[in-house]
Structure 1
Amino acid sequence: MLKVISSANGKIGLKAAMDVLKRGGTAVDAVEAGCRVVESNPDDRTVGYGGLPNLIGEVELDASIMDGNTLAAGAVGAVKRFEHPISIARKVMEELPHVMLVGEGAERFARELGFEEKDLLTPESKAIWEKGLKEKVTGVYEDRMDYMEALRKYVHMAADPEKHLGTVNFIAMDKYGRIACGVSTSGWAWKYPGRLGDSPVIGAGNYADSRYGAAACTGRGEMTIRLCTARSIVLYMASGMSLDQAARKAMTELLDLQDAYWGRVSCVVMDARGNHGAYTIGGPSSYAVITEDMDEPEELPRVEITR
């Protein structure tokens, strides 16, 4: 059965993803299509156009995509002025002998391929960014270095649970039972310029293997990078665990992690049979699903993992 799941903020892209599958598109096509809808949504402050900027007011985007049938993957990080990092990541996967490009290199590649450039900072996101800084950074600074030194003291604003829980996840299964996973984000608001979380890191925020399943994460990426959470879930399923057992084990490992800025982490998971679920630590949340026989996507609660 054709099926797509997403983080809750991906709900608006699920019908587009399913339409791709119904037209005979691949799982990779579907996750890209779903991500693109969210990336273009200016009301989502955590992904694409309208995403909240870094400490110095620049919107930096990260994304990754993985084909569970071939284990091919592509990722980009710290990309500015390009609305659809998920599509650039796919081109990295398909056209380069690399897995990841970051910063100026990723932007150069996007320009070579003809991707459109635009200002990603909306007036609304700029106002939120300015308000946050004005509440913390005051005074007059002689030069940019002094200003940056002052800003560094407040990078912890990025760890505010109200600011960093974004990122969109999509996992799709096509008519051949192939699975793909896509992740896109603008990262933490007020992050230090150049910061990468787990979204572009294959194995941490995104992993797919059609033989066993796929997983994707949102939340404090520094935690999932250290534990390779997405691949851990898939490996646990490969070892014989059920989807529920695998996800619970990986999420419980996060509870034990020592981190000065310990924060919420959530995941969405699909196994090779199309079973799906979602899990979270740090507070309740939800995810969304659509199948080929559904007219509209459905939002479901995640399983909250606690001690």
Structure 2
Amino acid sequence: MILLANSEAWPGFDQTVELLKNNAYGVDAMVAGISAVERNVKVRSVGYGGWPNMLGKMECDAGVMDGTTREVGSVGAVPDTLPVAALAHEVMKRLPHVMLTGEGARRFATEIGFPVDDVLYEDSKRVWWDRLQKELLPDELKAFPDIPLAPLSRTITDPERVRDTTVFLAQDSAMGIHAVTSTSGWAWKYPGRVGDSPIAGAGFYADSRYGAAACTHTGEMTMRCGTARSIVLALRFGHSLRAAVDMAMEDLGQLKTGFLAGVVIHAIDAAGNHEVASFQCPGEIKYWFWEPTMSKPELRIARQYDPQRATQRGS
């Protein structure tokens, strides 16, 4: 068994560990843990503690993948819903579809008994409105929200406030390798923006035969490169986990246009190895790790990707 998650997973990581110790199905264990993250207001990138879109409305994304069956459930830009990872899991279990978005996802949530949640934390609302007042002209504030939003997307959207996601990757006692993600997305994003977190192959991917990967930070880049799937595919072709991650980061480095920033990759393989690597993210990146020989989970430091020292292809 193994459990890997980013640093913001702390409210639910121990719960997932205990469930895995008791032979729980990996997706169930991770959804339970990530639900605790979604409820915790101190985590400012996910759920109730997250940040609203440009209009001051919360829209959350999530995805789950069973690596043994390769079934996927995901939801994007969901309003009025806190446990979006659990909702994505229900999409996987109940529907012939892979993804629901927006009001359709909220309708499905209501049909299966999910309450309508108050998801906008008062402090997030305050910070959002303060930012608008600083950025908009008096006439624009008076007319808001009936103003063009696209011209504001590079000024009011603040990707430096938060571009993170909570990602959980696990190999359970049945040797199934699975992935679960949840996020509120970019602060002040354009309404309806969906990042990589609910996109299988970009923000997450799992295949019990080989391994799993999930990404945080700049989803626009990993969607363009199919980052998570590329790592698992490299494992299938016989590359080591480090080589697979470095190849994915090399691919990200080839992007020269569009919005470019940092990405953090979390990955595990079927042999129990793990890698967490930072691509052009400032500062020290940390992550949570646990496997059964450890007395308790550990908060560790991710390696910084250095293209000059990257593992060579084929190693």
TM, length-normalised to structure 1? 0.95
Kindly report which structure 2 residues correspond to 1:245-264, keeping only aligned pairs within 5 A, or say none: 245-264=243-262
Q: Which residue of 2 aligns with 1:306?
A: 306
SS in 1 for 2:117: coil
Q: Are residue 286 (structure 1) and residue 286 (structure 2) matched?
A: yes
**Distance in 2, Cα, partners of 1:268 & 1:251:** 12
**Distance in 1, Cα, partners of 2:155 & 2:41:** 22
The residue type paired with residue 302 of structure 1 is: A
**Distance in 2, Cα, partners of 1:133 & 1:260:** 25
The residue type paired with residue 239 of structure 2 is: M
Q: Which residue of 1 aligns with 2:192?
A: 194
The residue type paired with residue 306 of structure 2 is: T
SS in 1 for 2:48: coil
The residue type paired with residue 119 of structure 1 is: D
Deviation string 1:165-206 (CA, Å, 9 cap, x unpaired) is: 211000011111111101100000100000001001000001
Q: Which residue of 1 aligns with 2:214?
A: 216
Q: Which residue of 2 aligns with 1:84?
A: 83
Deviation string 1:73-112 (CA, Å, 9 cap, x unpaired) is: 0000010111110001000001100000000110000001
Deviation string 1:109-165 (CA, Å, 9 cap, x unpaired) is: 0001101221111111112212222221121246456x431x432222476452232
Runs of 5+ in structure 1 lacking a partner?
Answer: none
Kindly report which structure 2 residues correspond to 1:232-247, keeping only aligned pairs within 5 A, or say none: 232-247=230-245
Q: Which residue of 1 aligns with 2:228?
A: 230
SS in 1 for 2:47: coil
Q: Which residue of 1 aligns with 2:21?
A: 22
**Distance in 2, Cα, partners of 1:294 & 1:42:** 29
| Residue 287 of structure 1, CA deviation | 1.2
**Distance in 2, Cα, partners of 1:190 & 1:160:** 6
Deviation string 1:215-247 (CA, Å, 9 cap, x unpaired) is: 000111111111100000000111000000000
Q: Which residue of 1 aligns with 2:311?
A: none
| Residue 12 of structure 1, CA deviation | 2.7
Deviation string 1:14-63 (CA, Å, 9 cap, x unpaired) is: 11111111222111112211211111111112101121000000010000
Runs of 5+ in structure 2 lacking a partner?
Answer: 308-315
CA RMSD of aligned residues (A): 1.6
Deviates more, 1:103-112 or 1:278-287: 278-287
| Residue 302 of structure 1, CA deviation | 1.2
| Residue 261 of structure 1, CA deviation | 2.1
TM, length-normalised to structure 2? 0.92
The residue type paired with residue 235 of structure 1 is: L
Q: Which residue of 1 aligns with 2:313?
A: none
The residue type paired with residue 125 of structure 1 is: S
The residue type paired with residue 134 of structure 1 is: Q
